[in-house]
Chains A and B, each alone.
Chain A
Amino acid sequence: MNDAFGHPNSVLVLGGTSDIARALVRALIAEGSKKVVLAGRDPSGLADAAAEAKEAGAEFVATVAFDAKDVDQAPAVVDSGFSAIGRVDLVVIAVGLLCDGEADERDPARVARCVTVNFTWPAAALTRVAHHLREQGSGHAVVLSSVAGVRVRRSNYVYGSAKAGLDAYARTLNQTLAGSGATVVVVRPGFVRSKMTAGRPVPPLATTPEAVARDIVKGLEDGTEVVWSPRKLRGVFFLLGLLPERVWRRLPM
């Protein structure tokens, strides 16, 4: 069960090999989480993350392999995560891939794949997660969105559009869960220095996986529906949202 501070005993992470997911799992275990199921694509990455969770002090760690390109399998992946620990207090959906580039925008197959990994699979999984949380009568889902989806910009608009869809889906699903004992928290990190963004130019207000993890833990305690990380980005994106389209499109971003 979650305690009075929104702190979970058991955690299921979909996309458990990402840097943010790993930092979050470490932070949760340090604060007392005991059972962790990590689901991910890369077997060696999963093994690493599982070893790390054990070392951090988790009493029970299991792994589930999946591929986010295989949408039909999403419910089964979620089911096996839930059945591994009986009751899941917190589900983290950290599945995603940066996928823009010159080639992507002109290749329908690549665009479709990018949308699948960043929107379709996570949305399908979240739907199944919501089913389980309703049945449990309690639990939180944390969905990793991105500021890239808040106001989509040219430099990564395929990824940004997919995140915008996931963000909207998760927030609205949360409304339908009112009174169910379950909630969905949307996390909007800015630029995070991680293996996903390695080699890219670092913009202002860049953050780290550890800082995002801390913001998520604090958001769970406060019952925040949308967690901005860092918090300043909320104001920044409020202002950016006010820009007229003709100004927005001239910005070099």
Chain B
Amino acid sequence: MPKAARAARANGAPGETVETVETEERAFSGWGRTSPSRAAVIAPDEEADVFGTVLRAAEVRNGAQRRGVIARGLGRSYGDAAQCAGGVVVDTKNLSRIGPIDPDTGVVEVGAGVSLDALLRVGLQSGWFIPVSPGTRQVTIGGAIAADIHGKNHHTEGSFCRHVSSVTLATPVGIHEVGPDNDPELFWATAGGMGLTGIVMRAVVSMRKVETSWMRVDTERHDDLDSLMTGLERVDRLNRYSVAWVDCGAVGSRLGRGVLDAGNHASGSELPAKHKDDPLAPPRRRGLKIPSLVPPGVVNPLTVAAFNEAWFHKSSSRTGQLRHLGGFFHPLDAVSNWNLVFGRRGFVQYQFVVGDAHRDVIPQAIEILQKAGAPCTLAVLKRFGPGDPGPLSFPIPGWTLALDLPVGPPGLRSALLRLDGIVAGAGGRVYLAKDARLEPSTFAAMYPRLDEFNLVRQRVDPEGMLQSDLARRLGICEDSRP
């Protein structure tokens, strides 16, 4: 593709130096590689007037207004949250400063474009770990706030924004410094607000003190879903971290069989001699990559079933195993571009949460997808504790199931639509950071505080500049640019 570099000119009086904003255009898609769209991209640095630059880039494009602005980090949202067709994508990669970590409290100011990987490596040098860790370290601070991400410790410590005390937010009406005690409405609207309240420039995050970069892990293999879920409830009371992997291919009495991991940070005294001289060793850098030309059809019902069968049987129940936190928290980082394995059509991840009273939705979901002939390559089950106050923040107390589903089976789309109805009917919701296919009406039913969110948003974005493909598809901000 030829690089379409364009200069957007700000209106200057004659004789003044005309300021220009160079913008390149690119097609963007989410991690699932569905629905790509094209936008101009700019990467402002920390010193620049972020939104001023954005506004100038957004206003002019061959004489026409561009269609909205959204921030983008490492593109790990599975769907269309970090793309804005015909608009401007603000790449946060230059907002990359990591401040000093307070040696007493672990509080640190970090740029929005800093990845959890980078923060964790810096932190481990002095014994600080990130407060919430999703399945990959390749997520930025800005993205972690915009999606209010969760990890294996949600049942004990909540989602990411609970550990954030301040956010510097560039909005169309100026820069706002917000926190739980400082304009809490805007802070919590930003927590899980999918970037639609502004561009996070930096945030103050509280890190967790650790003695080692190792985890003490108990693993249990369960032959059916009921036993697995009961197991999760039990280990949640005793462990800071827990998660279960589910074999979605198993049927009948083995439906929902799986492997449960529960873990805690290992103390220095628990380490064997060979790790004692470097107790805070960082995770290994990823070496594995999938070749860019994957033959089509690698992921099919047979390979998926074989993979799940092998995974289930390779795991065995054991207690107190020592595992590095990289392998425990970030299994997805073992192969850096694993999303390519799904081929041209890509894949969707369906993650939902339902309250404890509706735990039967979990087996129902697995069965609906089985009946639709849709293989599920990865299924992760977890219990959530209390949610954050954010009106669009995903977690609510109960059960969450995340399913990776290759696009292709003819019945998949309608099966997921049916599942949406069941989840919404149970008072549950779908995670927007994963979504690429929800419908506006079901979204509105799942997030009943949408109006509250929009009231705050309109205060900082009265002209509807902030927009994304996700927001357009779901009608999140109806007054914004089409």
Residue numbers of A with Cβ under 8 A of B are 1-7, 9, 31-32, 34, 86-87, 134-138, 178-182, 218, 221-223
User: Which of B27, B39, B84, B408 has its CB near the most chain A CB atoms (within 10 A)?
Assistant: B27
What does the 1/0 interface line of B323-364 toward A look like (CB < 8 Å)?
000000000000000000000111010000000000000000
Q: A87-B482, A136-B86, A223-B344 are in contact. Are A3 and B35 (CB under 8 A)?
A: yes
Tell me if B413 and A1 are in contact (CB < 8 A): no
Tell me if A181 and B473 are in contact (CB < 8 A): no
Does B34 make an interface contact (CB < 8 A)?
Answer: yes
Which B residues lie within 8 Å of A1 (CB)?
35, 37, 80, 85, 469-470, 472-473
Chain B: CB-nearest residue to A182: B38
Does B437 make an interface contact (CB < 8 A)?
Answer: yes
Which B residues lie within 8 Å of A34 (CB)?
440
Which B residues lie within 8 Å of A179 (CB)?
1, 26-27, 38
Which B residues lie within 8 Å of A218 (CB)?
410
Tell me if B472 and A87 are in contact (CB < 8 A): yes
Does B67 make an interface contact (CB < 8 A)?
Answer: yes
Q: Identify 15 residue pairs between A and B in the complex whose beta-carbon atoms are under 8 Å apart, listed by A's number.
A: A1-B472, A1-B473, A3-B437, A4-B32, A4-B436, A4-B437, A5-B413, A7-B413, A7-B437, A32-B439, A86-B482, A135-B86, A181-B27, A221-B407, A222-B408
**Could you tell me which residues of chain B, from 430 to 482, have a CB within 8 Å of some CB in chain A?**
436-437, 439-440, 469-470, 472-473, 482
CA distance A3 to B32 in the complex (A): 12
Tell me if A137 and B34 are in contact (CB < 8 A): no
Chain A: CB-nearest residue to B80: A1
Does B131 make an interface contact (CB < 8 A)?
Answer: no
Does B106 make an interface contact (CB < 8 A)?
Answer: no
Chain B: CB-nearest residue to A132: B86
Residue numbers of B with Cβ under 8 A of A are 1, 26-27, 32, 34-39, 64, 67, 79-80, 84-87, 344-346, 348, 407-408, 410, 412-414, 417, 436-437, 439-440, 469-470, 472-473, 482
Option from B1, B64, B84, B437 in Cβ contact (under 8 Å) with A5: B437
Tell me if A138 and B85 are in contact (CB < 8 A): yes
Tell me if B437 and A181 are in contact (CB < 8 A): no
**A113 vs chain B, min Cβ distance (A):** 36
**A121 vs chain B, min Cβ distance (A):** 26
Which A residues lie within 8 Å of B410 (CB)?
218
Tell me if B346 and A180 are in contact (CB < 8 A): no
Chain A: CB-nearest residue to B468: A1
Chain A: CB-nearest residue to B347: A4
Which A residues lie within 8 Å of B1 (CB)?
178-179
CA distance A32 to B27 in the complex (A): 26
Tell me if A137 and B35 are in contact (CB < 8 A): no
Which A residues lie within 8 Å of B408 (CB)?
222
**A108 vs chain B, min Cβ distance (A):** 41
Which B residues lie within 8 Å of A4 (CB)?
32, 34-35, 79, 346, 348, 407, 436-437
CA distance A178 to B4 in the complex (A): 13
Additional pairs, 10, CB under 8 Å, beyond known A137-B37, A137-B84, A181-B37: A1-B80, A1-B85, A2-B35, A3-B34, A7-B437, A9-B473, A34-B440, A181-B38, A218-B410, A221-B407
Option from A31, A136, A178, A222 in Cβ contact (under 8 Å) with B345: A222
Q: A32-B439, A135-B86, A136-B85 are in contact. Are A3 and B67 (CB under 8 A)?
A: no
Chain B: CB-nearest residue to A183: B36
Which B residues lie within 8 Å of A135 (CB)?
64, 86
CA distance A1 to B34 in the complex (A): 12
Which B residues lie within 8 Å of A9 (CB)?
473
Which A residues lie within 8 Å of B469 (CB)?
1, 138
**B467 vs chain A, min Cβ distance (A):** 11
Which B residues lie within 8 Å of A180 (CB)?
27, 38
Tell me if B345 and A137 are in contact (CB < 8 A): no
CA distance A218 to B34 in the complex (A): 15
CA distance A179 to B84 in the complex (A): 14
CA distance A136 to B38 in the complex (A): 8
Which B residues lie within 8 Å of A31 (CB)?
413-414
Chain A: CB-nearest residue to B349: A4
CA distance A134 to B473 in the complex (A): 18
CA distance A182 to B39 in the complex (A): 12
CA distance A6 to B410 in the complex (A): 13
Chain A: CB-nearest residue to B62: A135
CA distance A32 to B421 in the complex (A): 14
Option from A2, A136, A221 in Cβ contact (under 8 Å) with B67: A136
CA distance A32 to B420 in the complex (A): 13
User: Which of B34, B37, B85, B473 has its CB near the most chain A CB atoms (within 10 A)?
Assistant: B85
Which A residues lie within 8 Å of B26 (CB)?
179
Option from B37, B346, B470 in Cβ contact (under 8 Å) with A138: B37
Option from A3, A137, A222, A223 in Cβ contact (under 8 Å) with B87: A137
Which B residues lie within 8 Å of A138 (CB)?
35-38, 85-86, 469
Tell me if A181 and B413 are in contact (CB < 8 A): no
Which B residues lie within 8 Å of A134 (CB)?
38
